[in-house]
Amino acid sequence: MTVPDDAGAVSLTVDVVLLTIRDGRLCVLLVERGIEPFAGTWALPGGFVTADEDLEAAARRELAEETGVDAGPVHLEQLRTYAAPHRDPRGRVVTVAHLALMPDLPHPVAGSDAAHARWWPVDEVLTPTTHGPVLAFDHPTIVRDGVERARAKLEYTTLATSFVAEPFTLGDLRSVYEAVWGVDLDAPNFRRKVLSTPGFVVDTGETVSVGRGKPAGLYHPGEATDLHPAMLRPEPSRDLTRG
């Protein structure tokens, strides 16, 4: 009782849209390809799924191997599967894209295989520019879908906390929304919304002072995962391509 060799035969890969926020801009991690096809262009970290490995394990392994990112602390979820017949010139390659979010830690983009990994602002990736990267395969579509998923999930989940290191201030958290959505949010209203959502954040009781301004309270992520009602996303006042 086995599957005929040719029944639905494909090569299966995972790719990871790893997002973080650097200098107030939403950024995606890309790896420069050293081999054909698409040598010299930039691709999402990813690779073939091995024989006895599930998808999430494959995604975390590839993340570690190709970019030196310890996938332990990052949020990882399945995004979508891309299977257009000729998306890969080598043959029928189907990829299960994943979305990963992490804070802007002193990023270990320095591993062995990871020498060619780099953070790119998503606006430079999504809008073709002279100084932006050229993407391999259908990765522009995948990046776009990943970013849109992230934008949507900030509305109705507490996932924004995945973008900041602990502990964080409400200003840090607000900066996440502003960077991902490309809008400016009213600080008092944002504060009211976050604090009125049970379990969104937990007050540590401590404060920090960063440069000018009144010291800010420090928080940890709470137990809540969903926002009811949702955080409303204003129309993009800033240019969304600034990501």
Partner DNA sequence: CGTCCAAATGGTCATACTGACTCTTATAAC
Partner DNA sequence: GTTATAAGAGTCAGTATGACCATTTGGACG
Q: Which residues bind DNA (CB under 7 A)?
A: 169-171, 174, 186-189, 191-193, 196, 207, 209, 211-217, 229-232, 234
Tokens of 153: 């999930």
Which are the contacts of 192, defined by CB distance < 8 A and separation ≥ 6? none
Sort strands 42-43 and 46-48 into parallel, antiparallel or unpaired: unpaired
From candidates 34, 73, 85, 199, binder to a copy of itself by CB under 8 A: 85
Query: By CB under 8 A, is residue 187 in contact with a copy of itself?
Result: no
Instruction: Lay out the site mask for a copy of itself across 96-135 (x = CB under 8 A, - = otherwise).
Output: x---------------------------------------
| Least separation in angstroms between CB 222 and a copy of itself | 21
| Least separation in angstroms between CB 118 and DNA | 28
Instruction: Lay out the site mask for a copy of itself across 40-69 (x = CB under 8 A, - = otherwise).
Output: --------xxxxxxxx--------------
Q: Are 67 and 111 in contact (CB under 8 A)?
A: yes
End-to-end Cα distance, the chain: 51
| Other Cβ atoms closer than 10 A to 57 | 14
Which are the contacts of 72, defined by CB distance < 8 A and separation ≥ 6? none
Cβ closer to a copy of itself: 103 or 182? Answer: 182
